[in-house]
A and B are shown apart, each in its own frame.
Chain A
Amino acid sequence: MTDLDLEVRDGVDRETIETVHAMSGTYKYGWSTEIEMDYAPKGVSEDIVRLISSKNEEPEWMLEWRLTAYRRWVQMEEPHWAMLHYPKIDYQDQYYYAKPKSMAVKPKSLDEVDPKILATYKKLGIPLKEQLILAGVEGAETMGERKVAVDAVFDSVSVGTTFKAELAKAGVIFCSISEAIKEHPELVKKYIGSVVPQSDNFFATLNSAVFSDGSFVYIPPGTRCPMELSTYFRINAENTGQFERTLIIADKGSYVSYLEGCTAPKRDTNQLHAAVVELVILEDAEVKYSTVQNWYPGDENGLGGIYNFVTKRADCRGDRAKVMWTQVETGSAITWKYPSCILRGDDSQGEFYSIAIANNAQQADTGTKMVHLGKRTKSRIVSKGISAGRAQNTYRGLVSMHPKATDSRNYTQCDSLLIGDKCGAHTVPYIEVKNNSSRVEHEATTSKVDEDQLFYCRSRGMDEEEAVALVVNGFCKEVLQALPMEFAMEAQSLVAISLEGSVG
């Protein structure tokens, strides 16, 4: 509690309050761009799968891979074990492919991209020019200048990737996955589906069949990626599902930090998003993967919003490989997402830091899996769930210590905060320990926003919403600190915005 007292007096967090004031309205990214689109017919079938493959000018093996997935998918049933309630999804009432007409011929550089699309990203605050971005909005003078390379995915296609040349000098490949399939087939062929197999689960299998684009990263041995990489996903078109696929390979002894952001316009209908992210981490390599998920959450009555079904998994294939997942989940009507770590290499490490906020009618069922296979593997889970309005927020996780994963460690801290008496907070951890030299510790708490803390803030002149935002940011501090600087600022203000209307 003293931590929070300090937090209140801390200068940094005053910015949160100012941001809350500055950003009026609720969902900031709810506008849409009028743009002419090229749609594939509604629904999914083998023909659609073939169409997507041919639009992407894919080789035969990729098409076969997709078709195998599709044939598997039609035999699968949508899973319903999560604590999520939503109307039956009609998979034939979605567009599986939507591409801006202006992209019919792929632009050679960002200069050729439709200005409307560029304006969209500009409005979202995403730098598509190869410029130095100032680290953090404030405090840039202390942080120095930094570069972030961006892959921008608009509906079904990647519109461009920045800093490619500079990255290429370091041997880093950063491009859209459609490009990688053509330019680096040996890498894609070797690794795609090796972490999340085609038939892994219903949504991942659907993705395997119909993914339209996404990002591809390869960091060569011993290379520290010279800048942060990021992908910004924007769903713009109506009734369109987005199915992106990301594949990151960190070769021996390499390092990369990867950021991912997502937004979508306000629409009355629900839209489907089913992504797959695969991380392959070899010996002594390290990947940090940070997500700020801010898809449109639907309105306060639960109308509209994105259905977000995501499979993210990291395979620490080599000894001493390290992965760190950090996620801030504030958007989407439905979130179904469990970024996982397979700790296969000896002495490999997995970390999962998560903030999940569910307000109004949002439902989130999210968590992680830590599968310890190698000796002396370590994992750490810090999950902070916040429920407000009528929302339901579930942490679901698995910690598994295999018999051979001797001398391993897991620590899990899983806290839930409730704001208001109509929402729910749930914790569903699975703990499976099959050797005695490993130590597993799991702690979970559920509580309401501390009235004393709120009162303390309000007695210093904050209104109730500001006070809640502040206290919640304090509650999430451990996770916010795990984010890269510029994301941390964005996340902090997002926390405040997503909780608007949760009190009073």
Chain B
Amino acid sequence: MATDVSRRDFVKAALLAPLLPSLLAACRRADRGPVVNFFNWSNYIGKDTLPNFTKETGIAVRYDLFADEEEMFAKLRAGAAGYDLIVVGDYLIPRFRALNMIDPVPPGVLKNQGNLAPGFRHPPYDPDEATVPYLWGTTGIAYNRKTLKTKPTSWWDLWDPKYKDRLSMLDNVRDCVALAMQLLNIPQTTSDPADFKKVRDLLVRQKPLVKMYSSTSYLNSLVAGEIDLAMTWSGDLFQAAKDNPDLDYCLPKEGTYMWVDCLALMRGSRHRENALRLIDYLLEPQVAADNANYVRYASPNAKAWPLADPVLRRDPRVYPPPKRMAELKMHHVLDPEQTELWNQTWADVKVA
């Protein structure tokens, strides 16, 4: 009798075992009210911005991070369903639109769209305003004032053998290939394989000096003093400088690029209304100002400027003066063939 019971229990347990996880899952994923799924760069939103949004609207934000937009693109291509709102760099917008991965923001539904500065309305990379500018910044050189005897002024400092193993490069095709092209005086519109060979050679030549290719964790190394020099994005460095005041940022004399990251609606999104509410919320002057104050990038939101931290507002490294502003270049929009050449060149550099 006893064995009978235990056997029956065993069979029952065996039958129930596969059900258990789904049961658990059902409990956990049970309806918890409205949500929006948001996919964003790391270090790219104010600490309280999303909790405040949830407090105000009751919409929960499921927030995921990426550290490389090509990897983000690959993941979205592979399993696109799920996100409602993503942050896309200016140069990626035509690619996302060509592949029908994003839907344009319907005109007239955002009540705060008018807060954007005129310079960020109908930009060349997105003339019909399918996306909404979020933040913008520049690519430059981060350095440690204390450990570096001479202040870097040129991009070529990143090729200086005396900084071997003390420098890092962004792990980002767009920034690194564009930099090499700029230094080699090659136009971004090139499709000539010989040009890309030169780009590759230049970047491979730098490799023995590079301690790491990273878009995130190098900031820890900068703060800790493990590296002294890094190719960086403006705001990321200013955030790191909160932990180590010796860190400074320079826009190299050869000039550099500015970029605009935009909020885009994923196609197939199940929470379109909520995503639009989040966009509108992020465009509110006070929210945009608080957000920019925290992440230390420049805001395209003109109504937010008067509310932003005056120190940041006056900092020429964050908001360059008009003369420097005019010198900043934007990335070109690449066709598919060029995109492939860029990506392949960068992948080749990484494994060289």
A binds B: no
